[in-house]
């Protein structure tokens, strides 16, 4: 992959300061080539990056130490492709967000990002056989029409979504809440490897970043941003799944919910969504019709 010199300098900065692109707006305004900011007084750099002077000094020192590293070559040795937000390969749908990722680190078939039809399937980490069975009605029509299945590689509904896409011969994108050198949950290690080899792994974090409680809510906006539509299988009324739905609504995406039995707590989320205007979903053809 060909990166401009400015993009290479962004990789060095993002490695030590992995924040969304909107955090770099002021920096690009005063230093569009990213060549002078290391010479700024600490107070000025702190103001531009909206951090404390102590943090700005630490960022400056870390970039100086790491600036000579050939990040592009190092990532390539691990099969990782960095895609800065200024690069033509960067998904246009993410650029419409308030806080798009500054860099996407991907592993696998990067061309999947350019596919026009993507649908996110999400739900509870405690999703039951009901979600798994529901996907047998939803995923095959999507795969048949070359729709890419997007999810977050979490336990439960996410795992069912990725596995269903693979089972029915489709393609899937897994959006991670950590760097590519890590895996969470551990039991999805083999699934991560399969997706990284034959499908696509995506994250906004440099490879060394470990999974943290705050990184997964940030990941949710990317799951929403990549997709044309969102499908919720099972979810509690208050859950991380609902945060992804909120992002989808903010992005103007179509939202579908799989109705469930009123006796199940994991049906409270989808059933409540339907009462508030989400479309009840019983098969994948409904989504295909809307996408067309």
pLDDT single digits (tens) 181-234: 999 999 999 999 999 999 999 999 999 999 998 999 899 999 999 999 999 999
State the Cα–Cα distance between residues 82 and 124, nearest whole angstrom. 30
State the Cα–Cα distance between residues 123 and 265, nearest whole angstrom. 13
Average pLDDT over residues 110-128: 96
Per-residue H/E/C for 215-248: HHHHHHHHHHHHCCEEEECCCCCCCHHHHHHHHH
**Domain spans of the chain, in order of start:** 5-81, 110-291
Helix (H, G, I), strand (E, B) or coil at 28: helix
State the Cα–Cα distance between residues 173 and 278, nearest whole angstrom. 24
Chain Cα centroid distance, residue 263? 32
CATH 3.30.565.10 fits 110-291, yes or no: no
**Tens digit of pLDDT for each residue in 138-175?**
999 999 999 999 999 999 999 999 999 999 999 999 99
CA angle in degrees (0–180, nearest 5) for 60-99-248: 155
State the Cα–Cα distance between residues 254 and 144, nearest whole angstrom. 20
């Amino acid at each position: 992959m060909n990166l401009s010199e400015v993009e290479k300098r962004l990789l060095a900065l993002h490695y030590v300061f992995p924040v969304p692109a909107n955090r770099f707006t002021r920096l690009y305004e005063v230093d569009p080539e990213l060549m002078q900011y290391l010479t700024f007084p600490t107070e000025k750099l702190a103001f531009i990056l909206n951090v404390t002077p102590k943090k700005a000094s630490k960022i400056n020192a870390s970039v100086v130490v790491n600036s000579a590293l050939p990040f592009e070559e190092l990532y390539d040795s691990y099969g990782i492709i960095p895609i800065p937000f200024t690069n033509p390969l960067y998904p246009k749908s993410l650029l419409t967000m308030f806080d798009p990722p500054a860099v996407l680190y991907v592993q696998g078939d990067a061309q999947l990002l350019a596919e026009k039809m993507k649908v996110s399937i999400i739900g509870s980490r405690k999703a039951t056989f009901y979600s798994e069975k529901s996907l047998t009605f939803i995923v095959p029509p999507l795969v048949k029409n070359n729709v890419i299945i997007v999810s977050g590689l979490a336990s439960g509904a996410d795992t069912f979504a990725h596995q269903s896409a693979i089972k029915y011969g489709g393609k899937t994108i897994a959006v991670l809440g950590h760097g590519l050198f890590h895996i969470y949950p551990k039991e999805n290690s083999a699934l991560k490897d399969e997706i990284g080899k034959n499908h696509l792994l995506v994250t906004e974090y440099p490879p060394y970043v470990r999974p943290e409680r705050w990184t997964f809510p940030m990941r949710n906006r990317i799951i929403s941003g990549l997709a044309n539509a969102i499908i919720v299988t099972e979810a509690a009324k208050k859950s991380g799944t609902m945060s992804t739905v909120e992002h989808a609504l903010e992005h103007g995406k179509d939202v579908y919910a799989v109705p469930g039995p009123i006796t199940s707590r994991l049906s409270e989320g989808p059933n409540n969504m339907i009462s508030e205007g989400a479309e009840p979903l019983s098969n994948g053809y409904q989504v295909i019709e809307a996408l067309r």
